Each structure stands twice: as structure tokens, then as C-alpha cells.
A and B are shown apart, each in its own frame.
Chain A
Amino acid sequence: MSHADLKRLLISYCVGFTSALALSLVAYFIVTFNLISSSVLTIAALLLLAVMQLIIQLVCFLHLGLDRHSRDRTISIGFTLIMMLVIVIGSLWVMRNLDYRMGMSPEAMDEYMIRQNKKGF
């Protein structure tokens, strides 16, 4: 590797650092100063900022890209993130649904679950 590479990488780290810092601060200010009135929009904005920061860090710090050297890693993390979303969103959906249908007191829950268990799930 040449010194041009060193310079290029240095710049990449600096860009990554400053933009990550900026994004974190924006997220912080959105929340502390209540910049967005609708909570749905706030959640969307926060998630968007986090995902932007994820991408910036992946590119600038972990040097992911579509070139030959890093393509395998990019594909694997993309696939993992998709499967992660499947698992997390699926779990939240299932649990939400159970909550909505089954809201019960702790005692009732214990009794219900033990009864199910006796039958053997």
C-alpha cells in the first residue's frame, strides 16, 4: 500500500468520525428539544439517523463496499441484517398479538401457562 492509500484512508476515517458524531448529535437534539411533534415521525427519524450512521460506519470504518475484497462481507452482513429484521419484527408481531389477545393478570398467566404445560406444550 502506498502513501496515497494512507491519505485516502485517513480522510475516510475523519469523514466517518465527523458525520457519525453529527448524526448522533442531531438525534440527541431531536429528542431533547422535541423538534418533531409527532411521535411516529420522531421514531422514524431516529431510526433513519441510526441506519444512516450504520451505513457510514460500515463504509468508513469497516471499509465495506462492492469491490472484490469486501464483497463477501457486504453480502453476508446484508443477509444477516435481513434475517435479523425477520426475527425481530416477527417476534414483535407475534408478541404484540399475544399481548393484545391475552392481557391477563400475573396470577392468571401463571395458571394459564402451567395448565398449558401440564398438557405439555
Chain B
Amino acid sequence: MSVSRERVVEKYAKAELGFWLYLMTDIILFASLFATYMVLRPNIAGGMSASELFDPTFALAETVLLLMSSFTCGLAVLFLRFRYKSPGLILLAVTLLLGGMFLFLEMYEFMEFIHEGQSWQTSGFLSGFFALVATHGLHITIGILWGLVLFWYIFKKGITANAMRRVSLFSLFWHFLDIVWIFIFTIVYLGAFV
């Protein structure tokens, strides 16, 4: 017996609010990490300082990638909502690909730092840096996983009401992660050179 349309709408309204509230808790989670980073930033304990370590151009590349992926994600949802399945799915794939590239750059940066002997064990500053940026990276990873599952779901079952409910939540998550990144870009990367 299939569930009635009203039930799906009602569930969507709840899920949208509930998921939004989860994002609010995530704001506080990131805020705690930002506060930790800012408190520990001067404590370089003989390791490299923020301005010696970071490359603003590299961070800008990451920023642009993530911003583009946020943009394509919005377009993907828009096309899916208007029932253009193939363009929507292609844009979703592009979104995930850009997210994957962002993640690759982040990993590459981490590897570089560790290679230079600047790991999370080096100093309080680096512990704070890795915790903050890797938590964001973990969220991106979860987002990519979620996006892949959604892609597969829509590919198989089409644009159902349930599919749209989930894609909308996914786009909230993805845009939110881009907003968090703006502050990482500003406070961590650019802030290092002030």
C-alpha cells in the first residue's frame, strides 16, 4: 500500500525543518572549532606559522571549486524540480565531481604539510588547523557519498516526490558547507597574512 501524497508533503515539511535545525547545530560545532583554532593560532611551538605554511592562491582555487560546485548543485535541484531528469543528473554529477576535486586538493595540501614535517602533532596551531579543516572535509566526504546514493536513486526510480524531498535536503547541506568554507578561507587562509 503506497503512502498518500499528503503524508509525503507533511513528512517533507518536518524533514526540512529538522534538517535545517541539524545545520544550526553544525554551525555551533564549527564555531567551537573556529574558536579553538583562533585561541591556539599563536601557539606554533617551534613549528611553522600560518603565514609561512599557507598559500592563498591554493586556497583560492579550493574556494572557486567549491563555489562552482555549490552553484551547479543549486542548478541541479532546479532542473530536477522542473522534471528535466538528464540535465539535472548531469549537473548533480558535476557537483559531486567538483566536490571530489576539492577534496583531492585538500588531501594534497594535508599531505604536503605532513611531508614538510608540519603535522597535527607539531603544534597547538596545527592541531587546531587540521581539526577545523578536516571536519569540513569529512562533511564534504559525507556529502559526496550522499550525493552518489541520490544519483543512483533518481537514475533508477525517477524524479519521485520522495526523491525531490531528499535532493532538496542534500542541496541545503551542500550550500551550507560552502558557506562554512568561506569562513575557513577568510579566517584561516587569508587571516594568516594579516
Contact = CB atoms under 8 A, between A and B. Distances in A.
A81 B183 contact: no
A28 B28 contact: no
Given A28-B190, A81-B27, A92-B39, A20 B67 contact: yes
Given A24-B63, A28-B60, A61 B74 contact: yes
A50 B82 contact: no
B78 A57 contact: no
Q: Interface extent on A, as a size class?
A: 35 or more
B38 interface: yes
Contact of B194 (A17, A39, A73): A39
Contacts, number: 109
Interface in A60-114: 61-62, 72-73, 76-77, 80-81, 83-84, 87-88, 91-92, 95
A72 B21 CA distance: 11
A72 B27 CA distance: 17
A54 B31 CA distance: 15
Nearest to A14: B71
B179 A54 contact: yes
Nearest to B26: A80
B186 A17 contact: no
Rank and list the top 3 A-B pairs by shortest CB-CB distance, nearest first.
A50-B186, A17-B71, A61-B175
Interface of B: 17, 20-21, 24, 27-28, 31-32, 34-35, 38-39, 56-57, 60, 63-64, 67-68, 70-71, 74-75, 78, 81-82, 172, 175-176, 178-179, 182-183, 185-187, 190-191, 193-194
24 contacts: A9-B78, A13-B71, A16-B74, A17-B67, A21-B64, A24-B60, A25-B60, A28-B190, A32-B193, A42-B194, A46-B194, A47-B186, A50-B186, A50-B187, A57-B178, A61-B71, A62-B176, A77-B24, A77-B27, A80-B24, A80-B27, A83-B28, A84-B27, A88-B38
